Structure 1
Amino acid sequence: MTIEPAQEPLDEDWDSWVDADANAATPVTPMAIAARTEPKGPLALVETAFMASAAALLWLVNFFFPLGPVLRVLFPLPIALLYRRWGPRSAWLGAIVASLLLFVLLGPTRGILFFLPPGCLGVLLGCCWQRRLSWGWSILLGGGLETIGFFFRLWVLSVLLGEDIWTYLTAQVTGFLEWLMGLMGWLGQIPLSTVQAVALVTIALSSLLYVLVVHGVAWVLFRRLGTPIPAPPEWLQTVLDLDAA
């Protein structure tokens, strides 16, 4: 009876088994994706500079040739794309660089007004999309930040002009409500608290609508760039006539 010597495992098989086990033990989570997409080398730096320049250029073109909401919906998208591709560090760096560019070209006011809300909104939306949050949550968070940014712009303009623009805004809302009540045949004086509540609700709704449009544009553009955002709800896909990603 002969005893055959035990065969040693091949080095290649052992290495492949270890690699396969290590890959299987690594969970694919949004945090892991973000960790892998942190800035790595000159490519991230070049793309950050390019996206920051693109965001500043959009703001600059809209300043000299105002096209209404057409370009405004694109303001946060370059920063959000930086977050999706390279993580939060590049996104914050892009927002700061774009603000500094506008600070030099148009003055400190425009640079500050770009950082909040468009720059911060781009970082927030990029974070929401990276973590695969639903459209409801990302629109709610983005709408809240946009509302805060509206009042921040209102405060900055009031300081620069030396007038209370909020008082002017409430006066316009009062005139609209009085005209509406006149059409309905109602008479009476509208309380100031009611006017301010209507103005606040109007601002919040317009902010939510703006962020919804930004989501729709990003849903179309980011798919073509290979970094799709979470799919919209089914009822919204029907409205947009888009297929789920």
Structure 2
Amino acid sequence: VYLRWNSRSAWMTTLVSGLLLAILIGPPRSLLFVIPYGVLGVQLGYHWRHKASWLISLPVGALIVTLGIFFRIWLLSWMAGEDLWGYLVAQVVQLTDWITNRLLDFGLLGLGAIGQLSLGTIQIAAVAMVFFSSVVYLFTVHLTAWILLERMGIAMPPPPQWVQQILDE
């Protein structure tokens, strides 16, 4: 909406979408949509309309998605009465153990080289993994939007040169 009209129209569309979703699926679930994806849509429209580079819109969008994921974890934890952050941290611990075991199997690490990771390190790894997945998601959204909007005749900033080279081959 931001690409065709303006900021006010984009925010009104986000608000109306959130209100319609609140009627259809309830207020908590509509918040789960509006917080990351509604705000992300307005942000992407703003950056694309002002011809901001992908190197600007990708990290800003990834930060919005990452904060939205943590908002989702908080809201769902509150609604369920469970600590979902603890589940995420447990999954990161299992992943780091698996990676460490693979590195030991290939002889890239010596036995006892890592030891037990601290809780702070695990939580930083969890945040980094969420941010990385947000960057991958946003890159896919940018690439898809660039291909589709280009065919529709709507101007959008071009991708970085290395992406254009991959697409041209």
TM score, norm. by length of structure 2: 0.90
Q: 1:210 maps to which residue?
A: 137
Residue type matched to 1:126 in 2? G
Aligned to 2:108: none
Shift of 1:182: 2.7
Structure with larger Rg: 1
Hey, what does 2:93 align to over in structure 1? 174
Secondary structure at the counterpart of residue 86 of structure 1: coil
Structure 1 consecutive aligned stretches of length 4 or more whose deviation exceeds 4 Å: none
* Higher RCO (C-alpha under 8 Å, 6+ residues apart): 2
With normalisation by structure 1, the TM-score equals 0.63
CA distance in 2, matches of 1:232, 1:106: 37
Unaligned runs of 5+ in 2: 105-110
- Residue type of the partner of 1:116? I
SS in 1 for 2:72: helix
**TM-align CA RMSD:** 1.4
Question: Which of 232, 235, 241 is the equivalent residue of 2:159?
Answer: 232
Structure 1 unaligned spans of 5+: 1-81
Identity percentage over the alignment? 43
Query: Aligned pairs, how many?
Result: 161
The letter for the 1-side match of 2:118 is: P
Equivalent residue number for residue 41 of structure 2: 122
Cα distance in 1 for partners of 2:167, 2:32 equals 31
Distance 1:182 1:210 in 2: 28
State how far apart, in whole Å, the 2-side matches of 1:138 and 1:152 are: 21
Cα distance in 2, alignment partners of residues 160 and 202 from structure 1: 24
**Structure 1 residue 225: deviation in Å?**
2.4
- 1:20-99 alignment runs, 5 A limit: 82-99=1-18
Confirm whether residue 133 of structure 1 aligns to residue 60 of structure 2: no
- For the residues of structure 2 that align with 1:201 and 1:208, how far apart are their CA atoms? 10
Q: Deviations over 1:117-175 (max 9, x none)?
A: 11100000100011111110010111111111110111111011101111111011112
Q: CA deviation at 1:217?
A: 0.8
